[in-house]
């Protein structure tokens, strides 16, 4: 590595650390609910709350991120208190005890249930948060909660009837199938549980291997050069309908670093090469050649995507590019991934970052201008993707031989 590249890495790391501080302060100052507990995530550019309904995903994600920061950088009281507030709020208000401990999707400010969804991602983020908090504090009850939710997610996707009574998304006699997000997110949750709960390592290794197998068996389509988000029960592509042709490049790239973590843990060099292929296909297909940044959805056959937001630029796929590209550079030494890291970082500094108020804009139009009025959080955006990326990239940069 030449001196100019090393200098750019050091400057980038300094900026990343500054952004992490701005991001965490933004959420601690503006998002935490001192009255009811938990976190508000519908925040405008300045951090003012524009909706008091609470996302259950975000309670879990916020609980995880502040526990994770304690794990990485040492315990800070304000971080640990924020994590515990979200965990306590979920325990008190976000679990449907009458439906097998399935979790709600949204609740009111006070915690009254609003919406139940068939998907298991509330349970996934609840499991991550409790596991990470246990890893920091040793609170055994949190580990038991994490294990129960982790098993519930698995069982619901392996034949267990949903105790909420919610049916599948489509009429099963007409169409059923598989979604890429289910094994992908479970793989990530498994990595957290495995790190903090070595007592069940054999179970976690078995399920992680199953997730990896499902991703490649059903969703990776070498003939199409992509990952399909939605496939039939046996992985069959449905190219005659728009839902069957959806490619989410950011989702694919997020899955890359989940696979890379598994490959590093198991010593699977072949999996590293497969992850490289996924990254290269996704970023080359999804990167906007005219305006820069990653398109949200593309159609695997180049036809019109159905989602109106398909050509918008969202914050989280760019976070995933930065994690995966840095991890690929760290693990392979190939400079093409460092080039993608710098290219994405430059785009994010120019368009997403907002030093005046902290945090990143969540939603940009294709040309890079924020949607108006701009927001920093929503039901789907909170303190998760950005601080996860900033903290992980900071740590990975410290692992590079050139910066040691």
For the stretch 145-186, pLDDT in tens is 999 999 999 999 999 999 999 988 899 889 999 999 999 999
For the stretch 257-281, pLDDT in tens is 999 999 999 999 999 999 999 999 9
Q: Nearest to residue 219, comparing CAs of 260, 177, 257? A: 177
Domain residue spans in the chain?
Answer: 1-29+175-404, 31-42+51-167
Q: Contact 389/396 with Cβ under 8 angstroms?
A: no
d(CA 114, CA 245): 32
Cβ-based burial of 348 (10 A; exposed 0-12, middle 13-18, buried ≥19): buried
**Residue 402 carries which DSSP code?**
G
For the stretch 303-349, pLDDT in tens is 999 999 999 999 999 999 999 999 999 999 999 999 999 999 999 99
**Residue 119 carries which DSSP code?**
-
d(CA 247, CA 258): 18
Whether the pTM exceeds 0.85: the reply is yes
β-bridge pairing 54-55 and 363-364: unpaired
For the stretch 91-129, pLDDT in tens is 999 999 999 999 999 999 999 999 999 999 999 999 999
Q: Nearest to residue 362, comparing CAs of 313, 296, 293, 311? A: 313
Mean pLDDT score across all residues of the chain: 97
d(CA 165, CA 163): 5
Q: Is the peptide bond before 44 cis (omega within 30 degrees of 0)?
A: no
* Model confidence band, residue 1 (pLDDT cutoffs 50, 70, 90): confident
For the stretch 39-76, pLDDT in tens is 999 999 999 999 999 999 999 999 999 999 999 999 99
Q: Nearest to residue 82, comparing CAs of 21, 24, 143, 19? A: 24
Query: Percent of the chain beyond pLDDT 90?
Result: 97
Across 23-33, average pLDDT: 98
Q: What tokens does 373 get? A: 């009025």
* Model confidence band, residue 188 (pLDDT cutoffs 50, 70, 90): very high
Selecting from 1.10.1740.110, 1.50.10.10, 1.10.3720.10, 1.20.140.10, what CATH number does the domain 1-29+175-404 have? 1.50.10.10
The whole-number pLDDT of residue 194 equals 98
Q: What tokens does 189 get? A: 């949750």
For the stretch 281-298, pLDDT in tens is 999 999 999 999 999 999
* Model confidence band, residue 402 (pLDDT cutoffs 50, 70, 90): confident
The whole-number pLDDT of residue 168 equals 87
Q: Answer whether 1-29+175-404 and 31-42+51-167 agree in fold.
A: yes
Q: What tokens does 62 get? A: 């916020």
| For residue 404, pLDDT beyond 80 | no
Class of 31-42+51-167 in CATH: mainly alpha
- Looking from the CA of 226 toward its CB, the CA atoms found within 13 Å total 26
The whole-number pLDDT of residue 323 equals 98
């Amino acid at each position: 590595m030449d001196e100019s590249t090393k200098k750019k890495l050091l400057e980038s790391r300094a900026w990343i650390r500054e952004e992490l501080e701005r991001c965490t302060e933004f959420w601690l100052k503006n998002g935490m609910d001192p009255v009811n507990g938990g976190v508000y995530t519908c925040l405008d550019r300045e951090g003012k709350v524009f909706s008091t309904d609470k996302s259950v995903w975000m309670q879990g994600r916020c609980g995880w991120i502040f526990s994770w920061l304690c794990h990485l950088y040492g315990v800070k009281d304000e971080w640990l208190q924020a994590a515990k507030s979200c965990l306590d709020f979920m325990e008190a208000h976000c679990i449907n005890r009458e439906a097998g401990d399935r979790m709600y999707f949204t609740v009111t400010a006070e915690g009254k249930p609003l919406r139940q969804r068939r998907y298991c991602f509330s349970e996934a983020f609840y499991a991550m948060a409790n596991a990470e908090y246990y890893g920091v504090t040793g609170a055994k009850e949190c580990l038991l909660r994490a294990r129960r939710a982790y098993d519930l997610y698995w069982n619901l996707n392996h034949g267990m009837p949903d105790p909420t009574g919610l049916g599948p998304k489509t009429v099963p006699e007409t169409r059923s199938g598989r979604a890429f997000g289910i094994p992908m997110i479970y793989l990530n949750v498994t990595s957290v549980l495995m790190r903090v709960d070595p007592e069940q390592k054999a179970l976690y290794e078995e399920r992680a291997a199953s997730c990896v197998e499902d991703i490649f068996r059903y969703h990776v389509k070498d003939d199409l050069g992509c990952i399909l988000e939605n496939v039939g029960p046996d992985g069959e592509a449905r190219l005659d309908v728009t839902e069957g042709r959806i490619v989410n490049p950011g989702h694919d790239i997020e899955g890359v670093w989940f696979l890379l973590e598994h490959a590093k843990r198991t010593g699977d060099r072949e999996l590293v090469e497969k992850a490289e292929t996924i990254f290269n296909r996704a970023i080359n297909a999804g990167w906007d050649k005219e305006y820069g940044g990653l398109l949200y959805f593309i159609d695997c056959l180049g036809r019109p995507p159905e989602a109106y937001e398909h050509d918008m630029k969202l914050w989280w796929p760019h976070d995933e590019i930065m994690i995966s590209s840095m991890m690929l550079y760290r693990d392979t030494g190939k400079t093409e991934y460092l080039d993608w890291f710098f290219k994405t970082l430059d785009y994010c500094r120019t368009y997403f970052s907002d030093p005046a108020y902290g945090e990143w804009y969540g939603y940009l139009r294709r040309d890079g201008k924020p949607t108006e009025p701009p927001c920093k959080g929503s039901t789907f955006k909170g303190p998760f993707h950005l601080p996860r990326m900033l903290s992980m990239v900071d740590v990975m940069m410290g692992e590079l031989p050139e910066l040691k």
